[in-house]
Every structure is written in C-alpha cells, then in structure tokens.
A and B are shown apart, each in its own frame.
Chain A
Amino acid sequence: MLDLADYSSIGEALKDALEAFAPEICLIEADREREKQRMKYREFKLQALPLARKLQDAGFGAGDRAAIVMTNQPKWLISAYAIFFCGGVLVPLDYKLTPGEHWRLLKHSGATVLITEYPIWRQLQTDASRPAGSNVLTVVVTEAPPNADLADAHRWEEFAGGGLPAFVPRQRKDIACIVYSSGTGGRPKGCMMTHENYLEQCVALTSLYPFWPGVRYLSILPTNHAIDFMVGFFGPFTCGATVVHLRTLRPEYVREAFAKYKITYVSLVPLVLKNLQKGLQARFDALPPGKRKVFDALVRINRAVTRDRPLPIVSRLLLKQVHAAFGGRLRAIIVGGAFAEPENLQFFYDLGIPVANGYGLTEAGTAITVNDLKPFRADTVGKPLPGMEVRIVAPDAEGIGEVAVRSKTIMSGYLNEPGLTAESIVDGWLMTADLGRFDSHGHLQLFGRKKNMIVTEEGKNIYPEDIEMVFESLPVKEFCVFAANYVWPQRSMVGEQLVVVLRLEPGQTLTADLRRDIAGRNNRLLNYKRVHGIVLFEEDFPRTASLKIKRNVLAERLARFDRASAVLPL
C-alpha cells in the first residue's frame, strides 16, 4: 500500500498507484455470465490520460466541478481519475435519481462537466426540467449506439485529447468531492469533502480491512456512495487490488460472482444482506434431516471456536460447502448505508463469514465506527476507527445522548449553506443527530434518531420535506410528512417508515376517493420514498409567523396519540 501520509490529494495518490501497480489487474467488468474485460493499472492510465487532456482542452481546470452519473463500471473510475488529474472537484450523483432530481443537483453543484451513460443521458436530454441556460457546458456520454443523436454531447470513447495532460496538484484542504447526502426534493445538502478527508479515512479503514494485490472487491453499492467510493475505488487502487464490476445486479448473478471471481470483500446494504441470508437459509432448510443435523453441529462448533476472533482457515474447513459457494476467499462482508439487524450479522458470522458492520455518515467521510472483530459483536456498530473522537452529548440517565464526532475525516461543510453547516458542526464536532451510547467495552450502540428522517434498508436517506411536493394541492386543509420514529421514538434503528399527517377541512372525511388520491400521488414517488400510513389530526397545524409549519411542535402533539391506532395503513 502507498503511504498516504506522504500525499496531498486523491489525484496524486492515484497517479503514483497507477505506476506502482502497473502490471496488476485493477478492474474486471462482467455482464451476466459474460466477462467483458480485465484491465491492468497501466491500461487504466492509458484510458484516463487522453480523457484528462481533452477535459483540459475544453477549459476544465483546478477547482472546476464535474459530475458523474453512471452505474458501477470501469468508465466511472477512469472518468473520476481524469477529473482529479485535472485538479477538478468530483460531484458523484446517484444514477437512480429521476432526471428532474439530477438537473436540480447539477445546478446546485455548479458542475460544468457531466459524464454519464447513454440511457441516462437519453432521459436527461428530453426531460422537461432540463434548464435552459444550464451551467453544464460539456456533456460526455459513454456507450452511445453508433446511430444515436447526441446533439452537442460528446462520445466518451472519442473524447480523447492528443498529447499528455498536465497534472494539476491540489492541497489536502482543497475540496475533492461534493457528495449529496440528501435534498433531492427539498434543500440540497452537498457535503464538501476534502482530499484530506479521503486520505485519512482510507488509512483508518485499511488498518482494519487491508487490501493488497490479488484482493478482489465486488462493487455493488453505487460508486457515488461514500462507502463504495472508498472501498470500491480509492482504497483498493492505492493498494494494487482489483475491483469487480457487474453490469447487472440481479441476485442470481451477484451470487455467482462470489465464486466465479473469488471475491475477498464486498459491501452490501442490509436489504441485500437479508436477501443473501434468505437464499442460504432456504438451502439449509432443504437439507435432508441427517445432513441438517451434521450441518447445525458444525455451525455450533464454528461459533464456539470463533467466539473471540475470526479463524478463516478453520471456518473454511468446517463449513467447506458454504465457503465454496462464496468462492472460498471471502474475508468480510462490509455492511453499510443503513442499520443492519443483529440477527442478520450473527447468521453470517456463525458461518465463518465476518460482517464488518459499522456506523457512518457521508458528512463524516464514510465510517465513524467499525466492528473490529475482536471479538465480533452483532449488537453494536463497533468501536471508533483510528483517528476518530466520538462522544455522547447530553446523555440521559441510561447514558443515551446525541453522537458527536471530531476527526480529520469530517467534511468542511455543506455547499452554499453556511447556516446549516454551523448547526451541524459545532466547535469542530459533527453533531450526527443519531442517538447512541457506549457500552463498557467501548462499543457504540445506536438507539434511534433526533432528526425527522429515515434511512431505508437500501441505504437511502429520506427527509420528509423532500417528498412533500408530491402531495401539493391535495384537497385537504393542510398536510405534513413525518418519520414515524421521530414522532414516536422507538429506541430502535429498524422499521422506519414515513407517515402523512392530514388536517381535513371542516366536515370533510377520509373518503375512498381521498385515499386513492393519496395513494396515486404516493406511487409517483420512487418505491423507497413512499409514505406508509395516514394520521388524521383534528387541529390546525402550529405555524411560525412566516406560516411555516412548526414541525417539532406538531410532532410533540402527535406523540400524545397511540401510534398503533393513529397510523392508518395506506
């Protein structure tokens, strides 16, 4: 691994990595059962430099912003490196957003360059919300069919400049990326992450979960996500490891990929982890009774011998077939993006597959705590990573309070939002609005949120304010969306749902037509953003002098209701 303490920027470290590991394989790309390409570090460089040169020829330089909206694939990483090489600021956007959301964030970020895939561009190009004088001056599109009309956009494959580009150095405190943690519909929260944030996070994470040439990381979480950016790009590249991209995320191909490519690490959201568990459990349940007894006994033995720490070689011997299905080299499954339930984590650990569960926020540069497996604890999110100071602010009698973090990985602030930044970072401490407590072994346990938001099992942060626009002009007196656990705290991170609170007009009732109207609007939202219940409130909403809803006051009044009877399923 490169000694990242010697480096000032992501671009500088990657530049050296491409030289140091030139003959190693950096990327494998597969589509279903077909392997499309294997690329060495030296070939990666040969593809990235002409792109960087062409970007420079187009006037792109230090501090300029370039957005990437792509699925996980080699051209994502090649484009990102070209941007860093030019001294640019990367704006990685979630490819799953709608075109309207993309245009909104492109505008907010001030990106002058957009690099995207043809199917995404096709939708962006014709979307009604495309702004007339957009700040996006250069559009580069990958994999466009030969006869596609790209208008003034450029083909990625032909967007190559002649001659070598000039490397543009950056300082550690310069902004490397603007990463949106939320705000696709409401107030965009663009986290300004510095080069130092990433360099420090990489050192901390790889101290627990190291990469080296020969290690293979399966990239499934979107690369715009802080976790995949770190462990599916920057981390493995600065260690000479290999990243495997699948062009489809159908569960059957994901399962096959583990064995086919002998995967060492993978990052998953809890939803996918649960799906994997379900598949395995079905296979175990189908075993004949005799074999099942033997298998259960082996799992018990494995659990006993790995109580204090993982013993991969022993586990692979004891539970040979399970490990063979995962390729026999899997060292850990990294789970992130949302809270994972302890029983899911324990299921895998008992099979000898450690799950690196942790806790993090985009604002804190990926991870704050990670399970160090010494010993494995499914009931906590682990201990603070090296370099992280974590404290509990204003703890109650049980020691539960708001989790605050201070480290070199904390963002420099929210783009164009000094007020919001000042609320979130107080005296150098990032206030997470998550509720937690340390146990006697120094492990952090989480108990819910102080903020009105949910995180889905797919790792999506949803703020009620962001989805309210879909209910605009609903024929009721007033409405407001809440995270149910914010109104009725559960001391739990699971089962989070949104509810829409309605104040009906005098004499109005919740008719079947009104329900249908709500359901129809709800269906316009992406499935993970939908509300799950209706709450009827029989007073006018409390409002400020400027007529904004006082959400905290309304939440307090709603909290007096019994949740089970107040929430009418939608």
Chain B
Amino acid sequence: MRTMEQTTAEVLQLAAKHFKVPADSLSADDDFFKKLGIDSLQALEMLSRIENHFGIELPDYEVQGVSDFHTLASRIHSRL
C-alpha cells in the first residue's frame, strides 16, 4: 500500500516524464498549467498516462478544477 507521499512522488515523476522536464523541477504545490505551460487537453493526456500507471480510472469530474499536483495526487490516492 502506497503512502500519500509516495503517490505524490510518482505523480510528479510521471508528469516530468510526460512533458520531458527534469523531475526535480516539479513540486507538489506547483500549478501544472502554469509550471508546464499546458492547456486543459494536455492535462487530460497527462492524466491518461497517470491512470495507466496506477491502474485506476479517474472520472473527468474528479479532476474538474484541479490544477496542482498535490490535489491531483490526493484524488488518485483515494482511489487506490
């Protein structure tokens, strides 16, 4: 069973890999729209990769309005 910290760390790693940025350039409190300069569709694409990694399905409504890694990780963690 992962801890919340582990889930967050994995989310950050996956996002860094997906957008090809150094893993240590991202932190949990970052707003991923601003930090990565992405739009809502690119965020959804990242989410699909994260879902595959964790083996879960996150309905669109669960990520509605979410823009920081910490909140995203907590939504994922609650479904693990």
Contacts and interface: CB of A to CB of B under 8 A. Distances in A.
Contact of B41 (A32, A71, A271, A526): A271
B61 A275 contact: no
Contacts of A271: 39-41
A275 B68 CA distance: 22
Given A271-B41, A458-B40, A527-B33, A120 B61 contact: yes
Interface in A1-42: 32
Interface string B39-80: 111001101100000000101111011011000000000000
Interface of B: 31, 33-34, 39-41, 44-45, 47-48, 57, 59-62, 64-65, 67-68
B60 A251 contact: no
A98 B40 contact: no
Contacts of B61: 71, 95, 117, 119-120
Contacts of B57: 32
Interface stretch (A201-209, A242-250, A431-439, A489-497): A242-250
Nearest to A527: B33
B59 to A, nearest CB: 7
Contacts of B64: 95-96
Nearest to B33: A527
A426 to B, nearest CB: 37
A527 B40 contact: yes
A178 B65 CA distance: 25
A426 B66 CA distance: 42
B65 A71 contact: no
26 contacts: A32-B57, A71-B60, A71-B61, A95-B61, A119-B59, A119-B61, A119-B62, A247-B59, A247-B60, A248-B59, A249-B60, A250-B44, A250-B45, A250-B47, A250-B60, A251-B41, A252-B45, A271-B41, A272-B41, A275-B39, A457-B39, A523-B31, A523-B34, A523-B67, A526-B67, A527-B33
Interface in A231-282: 247-252, 271-272, 275
B31 A248 contact: no
A117 B62 CA distance: 12
A272 B34 CA distance: 19
A341 B67 CA distance: 27
A250 B48 contact: yes
Interface of B is mostly: helix
A561 B74 CA distance: 45
Contacts of A272: 41
Interface string A70-105: 010000000000000000000000011010000000
Interface of A: 32, 71, 95-96, 98, 117, 119-120, 247-252, 271-272, 275, 457-458, 523, 526-528, 530
Contacts of B62: 119
A335 B65 CA distance: 24
A96 B41 contact: no
A523 B40 CA distance: 15
B48 A252 contact: yes
A271 B60 CA distance: 18
A272 B62 CA distance: 21
Nearest to B61: A119
B67 to A, nearest CB: 6
Nearest to A119: B61
User: Interface centre among B41, B59, B60, B62, by most A CB within 10 Å?
Assistant: B41
Contacts of B65: 96, 98, 526
A96 B67 CA distance: 13
Given A271-B39, A527-B33, 20 more contacts: A32-B57, A71-B61, A95-B61, A96-B64, A98-B65, A119-B59, A119-B62, A249-B60, A250-B47, A250-B48, A251-B44, A252-B45, A271-B41, A272-B41, A523-B34, A526-B65, A527-B34, A527-B67, A528-B40, A530-B34
User: Interface centre among A71, A271, A523, by most B CB within 10 Å?
Assistant: A523
Nearest to A248: B60
Contacts of A526: 65, 67
User: Interface centre among B39, B48, B62, by most A CB within 10 Å?
Assistant: B39
A519 to B, nearest CB: 8
A338 B49 CA distance: 29
Contacts of B68: 523
A528 B62 CA distance: 18
A544 B60 CA distance: 45
Given A96-B64, A252-B48, A275 B41 contact: yes
Nearest to A525: B67
Nearest to A458: B40
Q: Which 5 A/B pairs are nearest by Cβ-Cβ distance?
A: A119-B61, A527-B33, A275-B41, A523-B31, A250-B44
A255 to B, nearest CB: 11
A524 to B, nearest CB: 10
A121 B67 CA distance: 21
Contacts of A250: 44-45, 47-48, 60
A458 B64 CA distance: 15
Nearest to B34: A523
Contacts of B67: 523, 526-527
Given A96-B64, A98-B65, A119-B59, A249 B44 contact: yes
A35 B68 CA distance: 32
B48 to A, nearest CB: 5
B29 to A, nearest CB: 10
Contacts of A528: 40
B1 to A, nearest CB: 23
Nearest to A249: B60
